[in-house]
Amino acid sequence: MEHKIKVGILGATGSVGQKFIELLKDHPWFEIAELGASERSAGKKYIDATNWIMKNQLQPEVANIVVKECTPDYESKLIFSGLDSSVAEQIETDFANAGYFVISNSRNHRFDKDVPLMIPEVNADHLKLIDSQPYKGGIVTNPNCSTIGMILALKPLHDAFKIKKINVVTMQALSGGGYPGVPSLDIIDNVIPYIGGEEEKMETEPRKILGKLGDGEIIFNNDIKISAQCNRVAVIDGHLETVQVEFENKPTKEEIIEAWENFKGVPQELNLPFAPVKPVHYFSQNNLPQPKLQRDIENGMAASVGRLREDPLFHYKFIVLSHNTVRGAAGGTILNAELLKAQGYLDKIA
Amino acid sequence: MEHKIKVGILGATGSVGQKFIELLKDHPWFEIAELGASERSAGKKYIDATNWIMKNQLQPEVANIVVKECTPDYESKLIFSGLDSSVAEQIETDFANAGYFVISNSRNHRFDKDVPLMIPEVNADHLKLIDSQPYKGGIVTNPNCSTIGMILALKPLHDAFKIKKINVVTMQALSGGGYPGVPSLDIIDNVIPYIGGEEEKMETEPRKILGKLGDGEIIFNNDIKISAQCNRVAVIDGHLETVQVEFENKPTKEEIIEAWENFKGVPQELNLPFAPVKPVHYFSQNNLPQPKLQRDIENGMAASVGRLREDPLFHYKFIVLSHNTVRGAAGGTILNAELLKAQGYLDKIA
Amino acid sequence: MEHKIKVGILGATGSVGQKFIELLKDHPWFEIAELGASERSAGKKYIDATNWIMKNQLQPEVANIVVKECTPDYESKLIFSGLDSSVAEQIETDFANAGYFVISNSRNHRFDKDVPLMIPEVNADHLKLIDSQPYKGGIVTNPNCSTIGMILALKPLHDAFKIKKINVVTMQALSGGGYPGVPSLDIIDNVIPYIGGEEEKMETEPRKILGKLGDGEIIFNNDIKISAQCNRVAVIDGHLETVQVEFENKPTKEEIIEAWENFKGVPQELNLPFAPVKPVHYFSQNNLPQPKLQRDIENGMAASVGRLREDPLFHYKFIVLSHNTVRGAAGGTILNAELLKAQGYLDKIA
Amino acid sequence: MEHKIKVGILGATGSVGQKFIELLKDHPWFEIAELGASERSAGKKYIDATNWIMKNQLQPEVANIVVKECTPDYESKLIFSGLDSSVAEQIETDFANAGYFVISNSRNHRFDKDVPLMIPEVNADHLKLIDSQPYKGGIVTNPNCSTIGMILALKPLHDAFKIKKINVVTMQALSGGGYPGVPSLDIIDNVIPYIGGEEEKMETEPRKILGKLGDGEIIFNNDIKISAQCNRVAVIDGHLETVQVEFENKPTKEEIIEAWENFKGVPQELNLPFAPVKPVHYFSQNNLPQPKLQRDIENGMAASVGRLREDPLFHYKFIVLSHNTVRGAAGGTILNAELLKAQGYLDKIA
């Protein structure tokens, strides 16, 4: 690729924004050209406007970019949004109206009728919804971080055996709460058994993601019953979830493992830069996966599963782990953008 | 009470043994007279044989007791056992045969036909099993720490509405793994999604505890279906559990709360020293109970419940918290001993 | 005491304010009558205005108190201030001018010429400064939490052997940073080697505390050279400090231990309710004191010392631990108030 | 390099051994050929003999190596030793006598008269000592993990301004205690103010490292006075140390920073594979370096320094951070081996 596509990042000083910057370093297709944040940060060099908390040192060419306000006067036509939900709705709409493609990690537009809620391995065909959007540009959204890992693990099983019931209990990482986020006094030597709005997201988003593309909208999958319970634990990165599942056709344990091992989606076929080689990694050891040991598998873009066993109340139970700020947020959003690019949606802006 | 009953503690240098010593300070009925541990510790003063890790300073009168081996030649006729399961079976049997009453926290005798598996508020009548024991003395056991909190919360609901299904996912504290127990490198910034044998205990022990006293044995309650998933989290003390439940007769939310609030058992009627005033405390705030905030309620002897809400897959879901080394181990064992004493079972030895 | 003295607490919803409330439960001399906080909280019941994070459950008689603004129209003439330093200066002055006795934990008035900076065991005579104050009431302050533990340990050594140099490195608890305070993402698996303003406080406050009462002011002790380095570690409560010290007259190790063991101050002589029996506890084991194990000694009001050994660069090195929110904040402030009461300073308001 | 040098790793199942394996993946000069461990592990495939706790997944070609006992019958002539000090002394001697070059991370031979105690940037010339060794092969050792970071930071200052006094207080990571190492119950919500033998190592090793090469021995530098205090904190990786230093000739702050920025050693001149580009990185922000943010700089091979300021008791104080299991253990050992190779010491075995 001779010319990389210039991208702007909205909410660039927040934790998702920082992760976008960290992950986009040396991206083969995209280059960071503009950074947007609140009025308070606008006009400052990025390095002076942000409290950098990523492990990789901030790349110098980004450090010196002067932060802009989040108004649709950017040169970059591709926009990654890590905006807080309190402001994302209007700003993202404004950019889309003005001709920008907004790939968002915020929840605001997830349930808009004509906005796809994308996991590229799961519902790549939903991208077509963009054609129904009234915007000069477009909006594509990412599901919630706790939904993504679970659905990556369940999609191949749903395809093969049809899921009827999902019961999930999460142990979610602190980085999911943003920065400064969860106070240390609240979580050291503790668990917080509540995350506002999280259970509702996990009980509703899968219906859209696993729904069918209809005429300018998604026909929700309302056949699956879902119950979610969400907890915050003292883990930096990596959401671990216990999942119980009941199928239309109960498979054997071996059939489930085979479905996971063979699972490939459109990103793998297209060999997208951020696509994991294997979206799901199965571990047979009885104490894996663990957040600290497996969250970085495939650069944090794959889900890890393990402890598969028959269940007295459902058909099977297992655990799934995924990196909440990579696969579950910034990395997933970048993969969405790559899919858009590979499928020609960005031709008009690139 | 003029004369306190002398007690011996087996496994006195371990974490459960230390907790027995900490909790028995100033007990109105029992006084520590003898301490038993392995050959390696025997002959030493207790303070030199142990690595004291309790928060309360070791009482001086115990510090100087010379540790004995675990052979049935104790003056004390009442024995608290915090022995490791690798040695508990034979030693406890030997003491019981020799005329001692062994109140055990170990798992070895829990499923002996004639040994009661006791939660005093739940199945005080099971104590009668002792009369069927072949021992000159007797053996009484405590359930697993993760079972106790859950059953305390479920017992009043079972009595009122009859439970058919229980689904539980635990987030268990480190002190449940003994000392030295879980390595710090394994759990800081991590969750371990596996505790050996724990799920099996949670799926079987309730059947005996909620069973009926038959002729020299317990008739297990096999009508209840149970599924358990157990995880270790970075919490010092306090097991937090998400519970889903289905009833024979679905109650209202208010009826459940009322059942919890009014729950009393034999220990409350008898006003036993270690009995909590209320075995179950209900919290209406949406982020409570939490291990750090509620584990010490009623000196760690009560269970806390919260987040009660209807469930799409079962009737209700809620969370329960209990202190695993107090109510779930040493404290529960002491309450068992108090019940024995109050009901006359210790008359022959006191 | 027939009638308890009514007290008002300023900054009642903050972490120091909550600790005041927790500690004042059942106090023999003082009773909580009024609670002050910001305009935002005023008019609400305390339980609705606060996010209670203390381990002990909020006492019901306090829960229902309606919060007031921090203006000097209180019925209670004794005021405990846990105000943030951004607002404390003026409010405390206003209350003092209006006839209230303000016992403050804030740093604002610590270096006022006529305001005593009190550790009751160390400089009880400094209270006389109050007579020089221009206020109708008065102001008394508490040193910084990291200063108090160190000075408790050093005072008996200074009296006996005269200190020339102090070198201190701290590992300070999270509760010292207030609530919400330190973000969990900043401190789990980490140390923060900087606490704004802390090193300056530790290098200057001892000069006033160990100074002499002059004519309406304290003559600072500027003969002692002090260097401080302050770090934040992942501990909930309890500041641990490594201290190196050089004396005018180098004592033996035994003489130092004896000085600690025999140390008593005015609060011990007066048998004040919050006075520890022994202000300093010496531990001979080579790995004690530790925050988790010793912070609660004497209800958190005593300092613990250990690891005393000769030093190649100074005379001796040792470690000291004290509970930063009890002895180092709310508890220390209450002890100040008790000293005021016992020495008659509150007669005119009680 | 056509043929890589085959290496054997002793103590391969321990935490240092695992780190050797993780770091040697794709090493340009060395390839893992043999793995040695205790009798209990010998004969098993490595993957079955070890509890792999590294973040990077175990490379498959190593997973299937059959573990050997630690007897000197290896094909590989270059041996990395991560043996426990309880067995290292004799085994390392046996290998050296039998013609192997042993690059050791254990402490046993560190003070042997003819064994160099190496930090390649600091005392590369000490390697000549090998010529005086009686072994057919040779032994080279690594200093203690807490010494290495400190000396990396101090070496350029010593060269330029001559150090007279060093005062250091450490906050050391858990991985320095091996695996299973520090129990979680001991360190969560706690600091352990004692690490057996650590202070003695920090007070003695610098004398040899900064000593001069004499005739078949090192002439220790006994002019520098050193005091060390060592603490264990709840950090996974990365030792943070507060350092105070007094010089023969007091430099300016700018001169110190310049000395750090310009510091290069033999490994940088030789461009060794594991050599950091800059051995010391200076940070001007007042809260850096921090373990979580800077430990991985230059793949964990560089030390980070910051908070440089004048000190009331010494000339300057600052903090230094280094990765204890990379630069401070396995990585440092590999760099030692690279230096040996580059300087021809391995010619006879390669």
pLDDT of residue A348: 76
pLDDT of residue C349: 78
C181·A182 Cβ contact <8 A: no
CA distance B340 to B346: 6
In which element (H, E) is residue A36 found?
strand A30-36
pTM above 0.95, yes or no: yes
Catalytic residue (choose from C126, C145, C158, C315): C145
- Give the tokens for residue B311: 């469930």
Catalytically annotated residues of D: 145, 239
Q: What is the mean pLDDT of chain D?
A: 96
Q: What is the 3-state secondary structure (H, E, C) of B216-262?
A: CCEECCCCCEEEEEEEECCCCCCEEEEEEEEECCCCCHHHHHHHHHH
Enumerate the residues of chain D whose CB falls inside 8 A of the CB of residue C194.
Answer: 286-287, 307
Residue range D5-144+330-342, CATH number: 3.40.50.720
pLDDT of residue C2: 62
Per residue in A128-169, pLDDT (tens digit) is 999 999 999 999 999 999 999 999 999 999 999 999 999 999
Catalytic residue (choose from C109, C158, C239, C323): C239
Residues of C with CB under 8 A from a CB of B: 53, 55, 57, 188-189, 292-293, 296-297
Enumerate the residues of chain D whose CB falls inside 8 A of the CB of residue B187.
Answer: 184, 188
In which element (H, E) is residue C122 found?
helix C120-123
Enumerate the residues of chain A whose CB falls inside 8 A of the CB of residue D188.
Answer: 188-189
Per residue in B23-65, pLDDT (tens digit) is 999 999 999 999 999 999 999 999 999 999 998 989 999 999 9
Identify the residue among C187, C191, C292, C318 best suited for mutation to test binding to D, counting D beta carbons within 10 A and taking the highest.
Answer: C191
- Number of A–D residue contacts, CB under 8 Å: 14
- Number of B–D residue contacts, CB under 8 Å: 60
Per residue in B142-188, pLDDT (tens digit) is 999 999 999 999 999 999 999 999 999 999 999 999 999 999 999 99
In which element (H, E) is residue B62 found?
helix B60-63
DSSP class of residue D277 equals: S
| A350 has a pLDDT exceeding 90 | no
Per residue in A176-189, pLDDT (tens digit) is 999 999 999 999 99
The C-alpha of B153 sits at a distance from chain A's nearest C-alpha, in angstroms, of 17
Enumerate the residues of chain C whose CB falls inside 8 A of the CB of residue B188.
Answer: 188-189
Strands A138-141 and A101-104: what pairing? parallel
The C-alpha of D250 sits at a distance from chain C's nearest C-alpha, in angstroms, of 18
Neighbours of D191 (CB within 10 A): 26
In D, minimum Cα distance to B235 occurs at D188
Catalytically annotated residues of A: 145, 239
Q: What is the mean pLDDT of chain A?
A: 96
The C-alpha of B53 sits at a distance from chain D's nearest C-alpha, in angstroms, of 8
Identify the residue among C172, C187, C189, C203 best suited for mutation to test binding to D, counting D beta carbons within 10 A and taking the highest.
Answer: C189
The model's confidence at residue A252, banded by pLDDT at 50, 70 and 90, is very high
Give the contacts of B263 (CB within 8 A, at least 6 positions apart). B121, B155, B156, B278, B279, B280
Per residue in A48-95, pLDDT (tens digit) is 999 999 989 899 999 999 999 999 999 999 999 999 999 999 999 999
The C-alpha of C175 sits at a distance from chain D's nearest C-alpha, in angstroms, of 11
Enumerate the residues of chain A whose CB falls inside 8 A of the CB of residue D297.
Answer: 57
A291·B190 Cβ contact <8 A: yes
D290·C192 Cβ contact <8 A: yes
Per residue in B235-253, pLDDT (tens digit) is 999 999 999 999 999 999 9
CA distance B81 to B11: 6
Enumerate the residues of chain A whose CB falls inside 8 A of the CB of residue C15.
Answer: 185
Enumerate the residues of chain D whose CB falls inside 8 A of the CB of residue B186.
Answer: 53, 180, 184
Give the residue from A82, D244, A211, B114 showing the smallest Cα distance to C311. Answer: D244
CB D208 within 8 A of CB D113: no
CA distance B175 to B22: 15
A191·B171 Cβ contact <8 A: yes
| Contacts of C among chains (3+ CB pairs under 8 A) | A, B, D
Burial of B3 (0-12, 13-18, 19+ CB in 10 A): exposed
The model's confidence at residue D3, banded by pLDDT at 50, 70 and 90, is confident
In D, minimum Cα distance to B53 occurs at D186
pLDDT of residue B221: 97
Per residue in D13-62, pLDDT (tens digit) is 999 999 999 999 999 999 999 999 999 999 999 999 999 999 898 999 99
Once rounded to an integer, what is the mean pLDDT over residues D334-347?
Answer: 96
Identify the residue among A53, A55, A174, A185 best suited for mutation to test binding to C, counting C beta carbons within 10 A and taking the highest.
Answer: A185
Identify the residue among D164, D174, D190 best suited for mutation to test binding to C, counting C beta carbons within 10 A and taking the highest.
Answer: D190
Q: What angle do CA C239, C240, C246 make, to 5 degrees?
A: 125
Per residue in C45-74, pLDDT (tens digit) is 999 999 999 989 899 999 999 999 999 999
Helix or strand or coil: residue C266?
A: helix
CA distance D265 to D345: 19
pLDDT of residue D269: 98
CB C243 within 8 A of CB C318: yes
The C-alpha of D56 sits at a distance from chain A's nearest C-alpha, in angstroms, of 8
Catalytic residue (choose from B109, B126, B158, B239): B239
| Contacts of B among chains (3+ CB pairs under 8 A) | A, C, D
Once rounded to an integer, what is the mean pLDDT over residues B70-79?
Answer: 97
CA distance A74 to A137: 13
Enumerate the residues of chain A whose CB falls inside 8 A of the CB of residue B189.
Answer: 234-236, 291-292
Enumerate the residues of chain D whose CB falls inside 8 A of the CB of residue B181.
Answer: 183-185
| Contacts of D among chains (3+ CB pairs under 8 A) | A, B, C
| B320 has a pLDDT exceeding 60 | yes
pLDDT of residue A349: 78
The model's confidence at residue D184, banded by pLDDT at 50, 70 and 90, is very high
Once rounded to an integer, what is the mean pLDDT over residues C308-331?
Answer: 98
pLDDT of residue D180: 95
Q: Where are the domains of chain A?
A: 5-144+330-342, 145-323
B185·D183 Cβ contact <8 A: no
Backbone φ/ψ region at B8: left (φ over 0), alpha (ψ -120 to 50), beta: beta
Query: Is residue B109 annotated as part of the catalytic site, yes or no?
Result: no
DSSP letters spanning C158-186: HHHH-EEEEEEEEEE-GGGG-SS-SBHHH
In which element (H, E) is residue A78 found?
strand A78-81
Per residue in C196-243, pLDDT (tens digit) is 999 999 999 999 999 999 999 999 999 999 999 999 999 999 999 999
Residues of B with CB under 8 A from a CB of D: 15, 53, 174-175, 179-189, 234, 236
Identify the residue among C190, C202, C314 best suited for mutation to test binding to D, counting D beta carbons within 10 A and taking the highest.
Answer: C190
Residues of D with CB under 8 A from a CB of C: 165, 167, 169, 171, 188-194, 203, 225-227, 229, 231, 233-236, 240, 242, 244, 286-293, 306-307, 311-314, 317, 319
Enumerate the residues of chain D whose CB falls inside 8 A of the CB of residue A292.
Answer: 55
The C-alpha of A53 sits at a distance from chain D's nearest C-alpha, in angstroms, of 7
B225·A313 Cβ contact <8 A: yes
- Give the tokens for residue D345: 């010491």
pLDDT of residue A3: 85
CB C287 within 8 A of CB C236: no
Q: Which CATH architecture has domain D145-323?
A: 2-Layer Sandwich (3.30)
Per residue in D204-255, pLDDT (tens digit) is 999 999 999 999 999 999 999 999 999 999 999 999 999 999 999 999 999 9
Q: What interface predicted TM-score (ipTM) does this complex get?
A: 0.96
pLDDT of residue B350: 66
Q: Which amino acid is at B107?
A: R
Enumerate the residues of chain B whose CB falls inside 8 A of the CB of residue A190.
Answer: 235, 290-293
CA distance D15 to A213: 52
| B1 has a pLDDT exceeding 80 | no
pLDDT of residue B3: 86
pLDDT of residue B190: 98
Give the whole-number percent of chain B exceeding pLDDT 90.
97
CB B166 within 8 A of CB B160: no
Query: Is residue C239 annotated as part of the catalytic site, yes or no?
Result: yes
Give the whole-number percent of chain C exceeding pLDDT 70.
99
Q: What is the mean pLDDT of chain B?
A: 96
The model's confidence at residue D350, banded by pLDDT at 50, 70 and 90, is low
| A2 has a pLDDT exceeding 70 | no
Give the whole-number percent of chain A exceeding pLDDT 90.
97
In B, minimum Cα distance to A230 occurs at B242
Q: What is the mean pLDDT of chain C?
A: 96
A184·C179 Cβ contact <8 A: no
In C, minimum Cα distance to A52 occurs at C186
Q: Which CATH architecture has domain B145-322?
A: 2-Layer Sandwich (3.30)
pLDDT of residue A290: 98
Once rounded to an integer, what is the mean pLDDT over residues D142-152?
Answer: 98
